[in-house]
Amino acid sequence: MEHRELERSVDAALRAQPMRRAPPGLTARVLEQIERRRAAPWWRKGFLHWPWAARGGLLLASAAAAGLAVAATTWLAEAVRSAPVPEALGRFASALHGAATLASTLGRTAAELLPAASPALLHFAAIGAMLAYALVFGIGAIAYRTLYLNR
């Protein structure tokens, strides 16, 4: 069938299609939902449905929280600038340095070993990595289906 002819035939067939009949329970579902929404307490509705006092209270509380956050940040920055680095921070920085050194050593070793390895070994390693990934993926999927979907 030609493009134009096909378009015309499909268009005619679809335009002649009457509306589908809605399921008989739809109106009841809608009314029930409206009733449920009306019965919900104000704090479970959207912000625009809250009483004026509650809206004003939330805005004031938000402004106070923002002010406190700014004041706390300023105070913390000032304290860090004026005091020596606490011991805990020093330990954290040292652990970070250790991890960076380890990663760098591993990277250097891999760079030296890889050119020497045979292509077959590399292929096996790649396949092994993919299989391990698929295994973890499969375990995740099974766990999701079993623990989450069947709740």
Partner 1 sequence: MPVQNRDARPATSDAFVAFVHAYQDMVFSIAARMTGNDTHAQDIAQEVFLKAYDHFAQLRTSPAAGGWLKTVTTRLTLNYLSRYRRRWQLFSELRAEDAAAAEDPAPEFAADDPVQADVESHQRRVLIEQALRELPEHQRLPLFLYHFEELSYEQISRLLRISLPKVKTDIHRARAALAKALGEQL
Q: Which of 29, 55, 97, 123 binds partner 1 (CB under 8 A)?
A: 29
Does residue 33 bind partner 1 (CB under 8 A)? yes
CA-CA distance, 64 to 95, in Å (whole number)? Answer: 38
Number of residues that bind partner 1 (CB under 8 A): 32
100: its two tokens: 């960076």
Q: Which of 88, 99, 120, 149 binds partner 1 (CB under 8 A)?
A: 149
Query: Dihedrals φ, ψ of 29, to 5°?
Result: -60, -45
Closer residue to partner 1 in complex, CB, 7/78: 7
Does residue 18 bind partner 1 (CB under 8 A)? yes
On whether the CB atoms of residues 50 and 43 are closer than 8 A, the answer is: yes
Q: For residue 138, give the 3-state DSSP assignment.
A: helix
Does residue 53 bind partner 1 (CB under 8 A)? no
